[in-house]
């Protein structure tokens, strides 16, 4: 059974934010609207600016300096046009509290920087934090960042990078920028955030002249073979639900170990609200446990206490 907080958050977003997103006149307004409310930084994590691979961003680490912690590259959502490492601290700090060293890059945003700039930045950051590492490195992302995580893994695989992620977590990944999923229509009225008809035109800010079915922009259309184990969490009522369903099905057909979990009531990327929504905390804990298990299977010594 869904929590009352899940119902309340979906209700508030649907009535207060969704109409504003629908009526937004330009990119600057969309950027402002897509920034989630700021939350207080937990006392048990440390945040430091860094630029591995020349990509600016921030490390979020547990305050206690234990050796052998797992590294996690976290790619924020925001439709490739908005948000940042800072806006997604509710998620990265939670992973930090679970014991991960999290790097969140501020990859280049559209329309100032179009495809494949975001993929190139994600790959550059991953290569820099994984090079020379003995322990497995992991990857995660939400919404556009979830699709970007898959695209980055595809580029790493196809360029022969030796240290692929040991596992990946995708929260409501935007994996089809061609906007062909049925849930764009069937969930349009139920979704707390997005109008399905708006997603295709929004993707054009990032795609520019690129084909929306280009695999590194829309991993739905890629050969997904030889990718690491993946956990996908999606919301039952969101317009992007079919991106998660179809991506999971295609990954499974390609031989990837993939787990899909669909959560009732919660809004798109509810993981950004761990202080209020119990399902956000549960999703993040399940994601952390999955990543630790994937790292352990890949040979890391993991303290899951």
The residues annotated as belonging to the active site are: 143, 238, 268
Q: Give me the sign of the Cα torsion angle 13, 14, 15, 18.
A: positive
Distance, in Å, from the CA atom of 126 to the CA atom of 262, rounded to the nearest integer, reads 28
State the sign of the Cα–Cα–Cα–Cα dihedral 287, 292, 293, 297: positive
| Preceding omega of 116 cis (within 30 degrees of 0) | yes
Length of the chain: 305
Half-sphere exposure of 42 (CA within 13 A, CB side): 18
Give the 3-state secondary structure of 104-166.
EECCCCCCCCCCCHHHHHHHHHHHHHHCCCCCCEEEEEECHHHHHHHHHHHHHHHCCCCCCCC
């Amino acid at each position: 059974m869904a929590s009352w907080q899940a119902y309340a958050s979906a209700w508030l977003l649907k009535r207060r934010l969704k109409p504003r997103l629908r009526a937004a006149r330009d990119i600057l307004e969309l950027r402002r609207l897509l920034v989630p409310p700021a939350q207080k930084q937990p006392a048990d994590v440390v945040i430091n600016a860094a630029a591995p691979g020349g990509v600016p961003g921030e490390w979020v680490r547990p305050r206690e300096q234990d050796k052998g912690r797992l590294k996690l590259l976290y790619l924020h959502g925001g439709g490739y046009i908005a948000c940042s490492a800072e806006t997604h601290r509710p998620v990265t700090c939670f992973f930090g509290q679970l014991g991960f060293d999290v790097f969140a890059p501020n990859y280049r945003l559209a329309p100032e920087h179009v495809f494949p700039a975001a993929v190139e930045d994600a790959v550059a950051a991953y290569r820099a934090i994984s090079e020379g590492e003995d322990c497995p490195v992991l990857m995660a992302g939400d919404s556009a960042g979830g699709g970007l995580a898959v695209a980055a893994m595809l580029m790493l695989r196809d360029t022969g990078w030796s240290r692929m992620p040991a596992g990946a977590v995708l929260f409501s990944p935007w994996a089809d920028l061609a906007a062909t999923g049925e849930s764009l229509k069937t969930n349009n009225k139920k979704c707390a955030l997005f109008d399905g008809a708006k997603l295709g035109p929004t993707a054009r800010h990032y795609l520019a002249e690129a084909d929306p079915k280009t695999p590194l922009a829309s991993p739905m259309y890629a050969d997904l073979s030889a990718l690491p184990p993946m956990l996908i969490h999606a919301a039952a009522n969101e317009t992007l639900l079919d991106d998660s369903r179809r991506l999971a099905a295609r990954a499974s057909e390609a031989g990837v170990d993939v787990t899909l979990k669909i959560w009732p009531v919660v809004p798109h990327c509810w993981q950004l609200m761990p202080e209020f929504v119990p399902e956000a905390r549960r999703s993040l804990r399940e994601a952390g446990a999955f990543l630790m298990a994937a790292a352990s299977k890949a040979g890391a010594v993991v303290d899951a206490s």
